[in-house]
Amino acid sequence: MTGTVLVWFLKTVLLVGSALLAAKLYRSGLYRRYPIFFAYFVFRVPNSIWPLLVDDISSPEYQKIWICTELIVLVFYVLLVRELFRLVLEKYKGLYTLGRWAMYLAMTIAVIISGLSLIPRINPSMPQRSKIMFYVIATERGANTALIIFVAVLMLFLSRYPVRLSRNVRIYAWIYSIFFLSNTFVLLMRTLFGLRNADAFNDAHLAVAAVCVLSWLFLLTPQGAEATSQPAPPGNQYEHRLLTQLDSLNAALLKVGRR
């Protein structure tokens, strides 16, 4: 009973927090700067409500809606990672272009490999609806695997290079990395252990997601869109050398792209 109350509480926090965050982004005008981020939380509101209105989760209607919404969420994840790359690498167009195409290629390869790994588990006698769900799970698993690599690369980049970014962008990037890692971890645990411990993993993800949404709600501000922050490297020479390397690499990539 306690577990059920906790789950309902976390779902309520997520629903209300998502609605308040979307409203705050709109009222403050920050939605223009982070359009995908804003659209994602607008979508989260109805996507959090519809499962509460369906009594039988094994019904064909529920499964159809679930498949559609899971694919929409996956598209949002791809666009969110791309938006993060755009914001972080705004002054480095060459690096952004390379990273974007590398992400698309890695995702395609990962989805194909994930799909092939599920073929032995799909029987000809399996219902068509079950086959579709297998394909959706394979696509989701492959795409998330590739995306988590790029999120990790982006976080490594932020921790290594003293790039001047607004406070909001750093908050957006670091909290999203935690949010997305939590979601990917749940998918990995489901793959490894099946549905036996699914409830425990889902509850943990709900808790992390709720904390992330509340953190965005209170920390993203109109003032934070202007103020710049950066890690403090050990000495100006070190900072200058890193930024020079970054500028040189970006210039080389831009030159290659023009050919």
Higher pLDDT, 143 or 125: 143
pLDDT of residue 180: 87
CB atoms within 10 A of CB 1: 5
pLDDT of residue 252: 76
**Residue 229 belongs to what H/E stretch?**
strand 228-229
38 pLDDT exceeds 90?
yes
Highest mean pLDDT among 37-51, 125-139, 174-188 belongs to 37-51
**Can you tell me the mean pLDDT for 215-234?**
75
Q: Three-state SS for 134? A: helix
Structure tokens at 129: 């609806």
The pLDDT confidence band at residue 214, using thresholds 50, 70 and 90, is very high
CATH class of 2-258: mainly alpha
The residues pairing with 229 across neighbouring beta strands, listed in sequence order, are 165
Beta-carbon contacts of residue 44 (< 8 Å; ≥ 6 apart): 14, 15, 18, 22
pLDDT of residue 163: 79
Say how many CA atoms lie within 13 Å of 138 toward its Cβ: 20
Q: Which amino acid is at 153?
A: V
80-101 confidence digits (pLDDT tens):
999 998 998 888 888 888 888 8
pLDDT of residue 150: 83
pLDDT of residue 239: 67
Rounded to a whole number of angstroms, the CA Rg of the chain reads 20
Residues 20-27: contacts with CB within 8 Å, 24+ apart? Answer: 20/217, 21/213, 21/216, 21/217, 21/220, 24/217, 24/220, 25/220
Q: How far apart are CA 39 and CA 48, in angstroms?
A: 14
**β-strands 228-229, 165-166 pairing:** antiparallel
Beta-carbon contacts of residue 32 (< 8 Å; ≥ 6 apart): none
1 pLDDT exceeds 50?
no
Percent above pLDDT 70 for the chain: 77
Query: Which of these ranges, 199-203, 204-208, 216-220, has the smallest mean pLDDT?
Result: 199-203
The pLDDT confidence band at residue 164, using thresholds 50, 70 and 90, is confident
Mean pLDDT, rounded, of the chain = 80
The pLDDT confidence band at residue 62, using thresholds 50, 70 and 90, is confident
53 pLDDT exceeds 90?
no
CB 72 within 8 A of CB 43: yes
The pLDDT confidence band at residue 23, using thresholds 50, 70 and 90, is very high
Stated pTM of the model: 0.83
Instruction: Write down the domain spans for the chain.
Output: 2-258
102-123 confidence digits (pLDDT tens):
888 888 887 787 767 666 666 6
